[in-house]
Structure 1
């Protein structure tokens, strides 16, 4: 495997599957007149659902003033369709929780009418020490099994944060790809998609994302598209360039324009999602100061209005 980023301006932002479907439609309707085409063209409905990433309540979940039952109850009360539960909010992380507790959480969500849209771990595949990288792979594999028990379709992972001064980026890239590839294979065995989040770490730009997905092509691997973590260049352009890989989202209230944190144009991003072939959950995440309940409810209201329009 080799590291060969593609310049953003040369990228086709539509997936091969979408282009194929479009070509079939054009071929089938090509012999019809313009009015007949209009009459026979049926818009594909979008199937987008709301979800909350648990990190929105990071402080209360970590200090114990809130637990996963409380989180699930809140999500149900304010009208989310699903909840995304990161692994480190389970008691005892990074050790996997008992089956009893996993199934308790799963049942609680079910009884509240919520789906579990995803789960996640905190890993680092850029470590220079091979044995340490293998431990990170084992961590992900252990939580793949937890995700499968929860019924979470996607497990979120990271690339890594190590700078590894003096080591060429290409070498670190190869380490990361090897680890991800092993996790994807294990995810497939357990029916769980591995989702790599762009997190302004080793993966910073759309070109970095593309270099990974050109190296690892699998229907069991996708992108957790973090709207707040493209901090180099135009974030909206880079979201558009990588939306074809998305299997889940972190739709954040803030975005970075020329290094400055500003309010996200939620309407613009949701329009982009609707115009893509993405179907499924759109988890939101709020960060920073303020009452998380108030912030989450306000953001959910906006997102729902744009999804419905």
Structure 2
């Protein structure tokens, strides 16, 4: 197991005092991270192609891995040409992931508003998702790269939907990026959902939330689940997920891959990320 941090956790620091994504690579290494996951929020690897090489060289210099490259995408397009263009765009992102020196890339596949995130719509859209994911995975295989879809965005968030997608794509290098917290957005118990989807995980995010019933107002900072409950991001190990049990299950499974801290709390991002990583390492050692 290698523990590190997603740059998404630190994106609010970008631009402050001239901080760049290359600086964040250094910060992760200085604070005990063994890898950094690159999420292009606050910077663009399309607009500055040489930036990917600078990130890779910096990671090599400080002795940490680039574990994953995670991008947004949607294969829910208005026509066939747009659908084709989006597949081709995601394949170009695979090339960027290769330049970064990572063997993992996560891409989205599409989302719908909560009222439209039904199983009926998902079943209708599944063939479009499967065709696109299969083509991207086949393209990535030239680099010995594993592509994945994360359980997020409401529409493709429940554990069973991820299992259906991975099974239908049927490629050895297509898996799921398992986010232990995001199952709560679909009103699933994280321990149960992690247990179900660990066998198809290529990478893991540790995240934590405060969970509250949706029948009252708790003030700013909460967002709704599919079922109308409320969530607020917090430091890993300080929320309502049984992180000790989640981590015990991951360790017991024999998982040897990357684990990223994703901090979505409202406090200082450096503090929340560092404490979350320290908590995760302690719970792993205790498991």
Q: Same fold (TM over 0.5)?
A: yes
Give 1:241's aligned residue: 196
Q: Which runs of 5+ in 2 are unaligned?
A: 214-228, 232-238
Asked whether the 8 Å contact 1:54–1:85 carries over to 2, the reply is yes
Would you say 1:289 and 2:244 are equivalent positions? no
CA distance 1:171–1:139, change in 2 (3 Å): same
Following TM superposition, by how much is the alpha carbon of 1:110 offset from its aligned partner in structure 2, in angstroms? Answer: 0.9
Q: Over residues 65-112 of structure 1, what are the superposed CA-to-partner deviations in whole Å (9 max), with x where a residue is unaligned?
A: 521121011101110000001134543x5x2642x3322111111111
State how far apart, in whole Å, the 1-side matches of 2:42 and 2:139 are. 23
**SS of structure 1 residue aligned to 2:182:** coil
| 1:160-202 superposed Cα distances (whole Å, 9 cap, x missing partner) | 1135969943221111111111111111122211011010432
* Separation in 2, partners of 1:257, 1:272: 25
Please name the residue that 2:220 is paired with.
none
Residue by residue over 1:18-71, the C-alpha shift from the partner in whole angstroms, topping out at 9 and shown as x without a partner, is xxxxxxxxxxxxxxxxxxxxxxxxxxxxxx110101111122337785211210
Of the two, which has the highest radius of gyration? 1
User: Partner residue of 1:132?
Assistant: 82
1:140-289 matched pairs, under 5 angstroms: 140-162=90-112, 168-230=121-183, 231-254=186-209, 256=211, 259-261=229-231, 262-289=239-266
Which residue pairs with 2:225 in the alignment?
none
Q: In the superposition, relative to structure 1, how do residues 219 and 160 fare at CA in structure 2: closer, same or farther (>3 Å)? A: same
Residue 110 of structure 1 is matched in structure 2 by 60
**Scaled by the length of structure 2, what TM-score is found?**
0.83
CA contact (8 A) 1:96 1:143 kept: no
For residues 156 and 52 of structure 1, the distance between their equivalents in structure 2, rounded to whole angstroms, comes to 15
For 2:121 and 2:195, how far apart are their aligned partners in 1? 29
Gap runs ≥5 in structure 1: 1-47
Aligned residues: 259
Distance 2:147 2:132 in 1: 12
Instruction: Please report the TM-score for the alignment, with normalisation by the length of structure 1.
Output: 0.77
